[in-house]
Amino acid sequence: MEFKHNPVMLNECIEGLKIRSDGIYVDGTLGGAGHSKKIVENLSQEGKLIGIDRDEEALSAAKEKLKNYQNVIYVHDNHDNIKQILENLGIEKVDGILLDLGVSSYQLDEKERGFSYLGENELDMRMDKSQELDAKFVINNYKEEDLARIIFEYGEERFSRQIAKNICICRKNKEITTTKELVDIIDKSIPAFAKKDGHPAKRTFQAIRIEVNNEIKPLKNTIKDCIDVLNAEGRLCVITFHSLEDRAVKDSFIEANGKCTCPSDLPYCVCGAKKIGNIITRKPIIATKEEQEENTRSKSAKLRIFEKI
């Protein structure tokens, strides 16, 4: 299957990065190389692009799409490890980083990956197929209270407790192995009046995917590491698709902007707040109406930009 992916807010990201032709840039979520192709088009031969992705299929597709460019380095890894990745490459600082978080259109469309609630496929949802934890393990081994918490926090699903309860009842008789089996359980757990807003399994599948790929917990530290490895006037652009992601990015930017987080009743600052850059986007940038109509994935997207000083 061809790796198709429509880059969200492409022009806004390129403008946000303020690309220098001889600079070093990182696409921490290479995917189908939609953003990366535009970045590398703005680089001279002295410039360099580092493309990181934990999905080997994405890397293969990106290599094909960018085969005419000789100044691209491909890395099979997680952007959470950006400091170690750059150290391994002998690079101390970079001039810009782009993170397009969440799942790609290809991963959703490739039913065999188990991300989609449409059809009947093995429960998987791993962005990196080499990792051990998959959706099947989460669904069949996590405690009921943990499942309920994950589905509520990551999926914002108000019927999370009933869904978790029914998952645990069903798995006592037989291991839940397919996406259809999980969808059927979710469908039976949600009352009819609550099924008007999209597919009933959408929020639960999102939650399980986030848990399998550990998309939220390391994010604040990842943002901090990304800012640390930027050169002066280097920029970090982050696209989020989930309120928890956006909150983590926003809080990290505020902290890096030097805002004191001490309680107001303390006579002086003890948190060690230090300004290391400026928030370029006081409010997140959202996709234009035209883009939202053309690419439904962009509807929930928010772009935040930070510049190192």
User: Which pLDDT band, with edges at 50, 70 and 90, does 89 fall under?
Assistant: very high
Task: State the CB neighbour count (10 A cutoff) for residue 215.
Answer: 22
User: Which pLDDT band, with edges at 50, 70 and 90, does 1 fall under?
Assistant: very low
Note the pLDDT of residue 113: 87
* Domains identified in the chain and CATH numbers: 10-102+217-308 (3.40.50.150), 107-212 (1.10.150.170)
Is 109's pLDDT higher than 90?
no
Average pLDDT over residues 196-220: 93
Q: Count the alpha carbons within 13 Å of 137 in the hemisphere toward its beta carbon.
A: 9
Copy the structure tokens of residue 44: 């001279």
Note the pLDDT of residue 103: 77
Average pLDDT over residues 185-190: 97
Average pLDDT over residues 209-214: 96
Average pLDDT over residues 117-141: 95
Report yes or no on whether pTM surpasses 0.85. yes
Note the pLDDT of residue 15: 98
Note the pLDDT of residue 235: 98
Instruction: Read off the pLDDT of residues 216-272 as tens digits, 9 standing for 90 and up.
Output: 999 999 999 999 999 999 999 999 999 999 999 999 999 999 988 788 888 888 877
Average pLDDT over residues 89-108: 88
DSSP label at residue 296: G
What string of DSSP letters covers 22-70? T-EEEETT-TTSHHHHHHHHT--TT-EEEEEES-HHHHHHHHHHTTT-S
Q: Count the alpha carbons within 13 Å of 295 in the hemisphere toward its beta carbon.
A: 17
Q: In the chain, pLDDT over 70 holds for what percent of residues? A: 96
Instruction: Read off the pLDDT of residues 138-158 as tens digits, 9 standing for 90 and up.
Output: 999 999 999 999 999 999 999
Instruction: Read off the pLDDT of residues 64-74 as tens digits, 9 standing for 90 and up.
Output: 999 999 999 99
Distance, in Å, from the CA atom of 276 to the CA atom of 257, rounded to the nearest integer, reads 6
